[in-house]
Amino acid sequence: MRMYISMQILQPLIALAAGVAVLLFPRTLHYVIGGYLILIGVLGLLPHIG
């Protein structure tokens, strides 16, 4: 049995994790934001690639 995670659930979870990381490690803000933007961009393109 496979478990599928929809984009509607995954994006808020990523945003929540990024927010917590920024609060815990404020010096890594630009890395967290950059990683978040890249990840959301890739996830947004996946349905169009396959």
3-state helix, strand, coil in the chain (%, to 5): 85, 0, 15
Q: pLDDT at residue 2 above 80?
A: no
Contact by Cβ (8 Å): 7, 43? yes
Q: Where are the domains of the chain?
A: 13-45
Q: pLDDT at residue 5 above 80?
A: no
Mean of pLDDT values over 1-19: 79
Q: pLDDT at residue 17 above 80?
A: yes
Question: How far is 14 from 44, CA to CA, in rounded Å?
Answer: 13
Give Cβ neighbours of residue 44 (< 8 Å, ≥ 6 apart): 7
Q: What confidence tens digit (pLDDT) does each residue in 20-32 have?
A: 888 898 888 888 8
Contact by Cβ (8 Å): 33, 14? no
